[in-house]
Amino acid sequence: MTEKGPDRKFEATPWLSTACIRDIFLHTEERHKKRLIENFKQSRVQNDNNCTEYLKVYPNMTEIRPKNTMKNTNFKRGGGRKKEITEFSRKSRRNFIKFLCKISEPVELWQDFTFADDIMTGKTTSQRRDISNKALNRFRRVIKNKYPSMWAIYKREWQSRKSGNLSGEYIPHFHMFIVEKNKSENFNYMLLALDLALIWVQCTKTAEFEKALRVARHPRSYRLIENQKHAMFYASKYVVKADEFKTDESIGRSWGTIGNIKTENPKIVELTYDEAVHYKRVARKTLHKRNKGLKKSLSNPEIPTFIIIKEETTDRIMKYVGDTLEWECLSFFAEVA
Cα–Cα distance between 39 and 21 in angstroms, integer?
18
Percent helix, strand and coil across the chain, each rounded to 5? 45, 20, 35
Please report whether residue 244 resides in a domain: yes
Give the pLDDT confidence score for residue 94 in this predicted structure: 83
Residue 96 pLDDT > 60, yes or no? Answer: yes
3-class SS of residue 162: coil
Regarding whether 272 and 233 lie in a shared domain, the answer is no
Please report whether residue 218 resides in a domain: yes
Residue 171 pLDDT > 80, yes or no? Answer: yes
Domain ends where: 217, 237, 258? 258
Interval 248-281: pLDDT, tens: 777 888 899 999 888 888 999 988 888 888 888 8
- Is there a contact between 308 and 232 (Cβ–Cβ < 8 Å)? yes
Please report whether residue 82 resides in a domain: no
Interval 204-253: pLDDT, tens: 999 999 999 999 999 999 998 877 666 766 666 666 555 566 677 778 88
Please report whether residue 67 resides in a domain: no
Q: What is the count of structural domains for the chain? A: 2
Q: Which residues contact 67 (CB under 8 A, 6 or more apart)?
A: 51, 52, 53, 54, 270, 302
52: left (phi over 0), alpha (psi -120 to 50) or beta: alpha
Give the pLDDT confidence score for residue 243 in this predicted structure: 59
Regarding whether 246 and 118 lie in a shared domain, the answer is yes
Q: In the 8-state DSSP scheme, what is residue 67? A: G
- Is there a contact between 131 and 274 (Cβ–Cβ < 8 Å)? no
Cα–Cα distance between 238 and 252 in angstroms, integer?
18
Regarding whether 274 and 239 lie in a shared domain, the answer is no
Please report whether residue 220 resides in a domain: yes
Give the pLDDT confidence score for residue 52 in this predicted structure: 83
The answer to pTM > 0.85 is no
pLDDT, mean of residues 50-66: 88
Regarding whether 300 and 220 lie in a shared domain, the answer is no
Is residue 285 very low, low, confident or very high in pLDDT (cuts 50, 70, 90)?
A: confident
Phi, psi of 263 (to 5 degrees): -115, 150
Regarding whether 43 and 95 lie in a shared domain, the answer is no
Please report whether residue 76 resides in a domain: no
Regarding whether 195 and 332 lie in a shared domain, the answer is no
Give the pLDDT confidence score for residue 10 in this predicted structure: 38
Please report whether residue 71 resides in a domain: no
Domain ends where: 225, 240, 258? 258
Regarding whether 292 and 215 lie in a shared domain, the answer is no
Regarding whether 328 and 294 lie in a shared domain, the answer is yes
Q: Residue 150 class from Cβ within 10 Å (0-12 exposed, 13-18 middle, 19+ buried)?
A: buried
Residue 293 pLDDT > 60, yes or no? Answer: yes
Cα–Cα distance between 189 and 191 in angstroms, integer?
5
Give the pLDDT confidence score for residue 127 in this predicted structure: 94
- Is there a contact between 6 and 323 (Cβ–Cβ < 8 Å)? yes
Give the pLDDT confidence score for residue 34 in this predicted structure: 60
- Separation of first and last alpha carbons in the chain: 9
Please report whether residue 72 resides in a domain: no
pLDDT, mean of residues 275-295: 80
Burial 227-244 (b: 16+ CB within 10 A, else e): ebebbbebbeeebeeebe
Regarding whether 165 and 120 lie in a shared domain, the answer is yes
Rounded to the nearest integer, the mean pLDDT of the chain is: 78
3-class SS of residue 168: coil
Give the pLDDT confidence score for residue 334 in this predicted structure: 52
Residue 123 pLDDT > 90, yes or no? Answer: yes
Q: Are strands 170-180 and 222-224 parallel, antiparallel or unpaired?
A: unpaired
More confident residue, 168 or 4: 168
Regarding whether 100 and 30 lie in a shared domain, the answer is no
Give the pLDDT confidence score for residue 108 in this predicted structure: 87
Regarding whether 270 and 254 lie in a shared domain, the answer is no
pLDDT, mean of residues 14-18: 39
- Is there a contact between 302 and 66 (Cβ–Cβ < 8 Å)? yes
Is residue 139 very low, low, confident or very high in pLDDT (cuts 50, 70, 90)?
A: very high
Residue numbers of the domain that contains 30:
18-58+266-308+316-336
Burial 281-312 (b: 16+ CB within 10 A, else e): ebbbeeeeeeeeebbebbeeeeeebbbbbbbe
Residue 138 pLDDT > 70, yes or no? Answer: yes
Q: Could you give the C-alpha distances from 152 to 52, 77, 96, 149, 268, in angstroms and in order?
A: 37, 27, 13, 10, 28
Q: Which residues contact 99 (CB under 8 A, 6 or more apart)?
A: 153, 263
Regarding whether 199 and 120 lie in a shared domain, the answer is yes
Cα–Cα distance between 102 and 265 in angstroms, integer?
8
